[in-house]
């Protein structure tokens, strides 16, 4: 099972590329960040539809780029989370795991108001 462990901070945008052996093509991707898998609260939802997940084809599969803006990370309490990224095939019947992992979120030390140095 592919693993992607992430460390984020509330004072900056976050972006990471993940090489997948899956040929994702234009199939939609969905990723949820939760405190634990059983918890119904989704703290961050990243999808190809909301453009937080982007896909580029390679000769060996695909590169998936996950981008989380600082504005979303500001609202995420510091702590440990779990996440998974699942591809939904267009037939609607099959789900393919792209990755699973943890997300450790920290409060970043750099803070400033917009428009100030």
Structure token pair of residue 101: 């992992």
Number of compact structural domains in the chain? 1
Range of the domain at 82: 6-106
With respect to residue 70, please indicate whether it lies within any of the assigned structural domains.
yes
With respect to residue 112, please indicate whether it lies within any of the assigned structural domains.
no
- Contact 65/110 with Cβ under 8 angstroms? no
Interatomic CA distance for residues 107 and 40, integer angstroms: 24
With respect to residue 1, please indicate whether it lies within any of the assigned structural domains.
no
With respect to residue 56, please indicate whether it lies within any of the assigned structural domains.
yes
Q: What's 23's domain CATH number? A: 2.60.40.10
pLDDT tens digits, 66-117:
999 999 999 999 999 999 999 998 776 789 999 999 999 999 988 766 555 5
Category of 51 on φ-ψ map: left (φ > 0), alpha (ψ -120 to 50) or beta = left
With respect to residue 80, please indicate whether it lies within any of the assigned structural domains.
yes
pLDDT at 86: 95
With respect to residue 101, please indicate whether it lies within any of the assigned structural domains.
yes
Q: Is the pLDDT of residue 9 over 60?
A: yes
pLDDT tens digits, 10-64:
999 999 999 998 889 899 999 999 999 999 999 999 999 999 999 999 998 999 9
């Amino acid at each position: 099972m592919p693993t992607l462990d992430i460390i984020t901070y509330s004072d900056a945008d976050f972006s990471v590329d993940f090489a997948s052996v899956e040929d994702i093509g234009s199939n939609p991707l969905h990723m949820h960040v939760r405190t634990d898998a059983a918890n119904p609260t989704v703290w961050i939802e990243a999808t190809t539809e909301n453009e937080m997940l982007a896909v580029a084809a390679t000769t060996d599969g695909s590169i998936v780029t996950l981008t989380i803006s600082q504005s979303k990370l500001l609202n995420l309490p510091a702590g440990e989370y779990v996440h998974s990224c699942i591809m939904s095939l267009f037939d609607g019947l099959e789900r393919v795991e792209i990755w699973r992992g943890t997300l450790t979120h920290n409060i970043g030390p750099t803070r400033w108001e917009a428009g100030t140095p």
